[in-house]
Amino acid sequence: MSQWTTVCQLNDILPATGVCALVGNEQIAIFRPRNDDQVFAINNIDPFFEASVLSRGLIAEHQGELWVASPLKKQHFRLRDGLCMEDESRSIARYPARVQDGQVQIKA
């Protein structure tokens, strides 16, 4: 049974950026696209290079969806579900994320 884990304060994540958190044995990239309390959480490992870099990627909007571009070769991963735009077979895990009393929580 998975539970909500507090990983940081919302104010620790600047708008339009991401951070990485270790939750259990999983590296999770947490993104705050705007200056509000909406957050997204996906696996931090770039599946093309097995590198822990996605939290440092650039957030972009494409066709009304939010994506993060890997800083290595710029493959795009949709924030709401981890889908890889360029190769669906390389899609990554997505985790429920929320802000509760100013704290970012992940369910992993």
The model carries a pTM of 0.95
Mean pLDDT of 87-98: 98
| 79 has a pLDDT exceeding 60 | yes
The whole-angstrom separation of Cα 1 and Cα 20 is: 23
**Angle CA 80–82–86, to nearest 5:** 120
pLDDT digits (tens, 9 = 90+) for 12-49: 999 999 999 999 999 999 999 999 999 999 999 999 99
Contact call for residues 93 and 42 (beta carbons, < 8 A): yes
Mean pLDDT of 61-66: 96
* Residue 22 tokens, joined: 């270790």
pLDDT at res. 1 = 44
Contact partners, residue 26, CB within 8 Å, separation at least 6: 43, 93, 95, 108
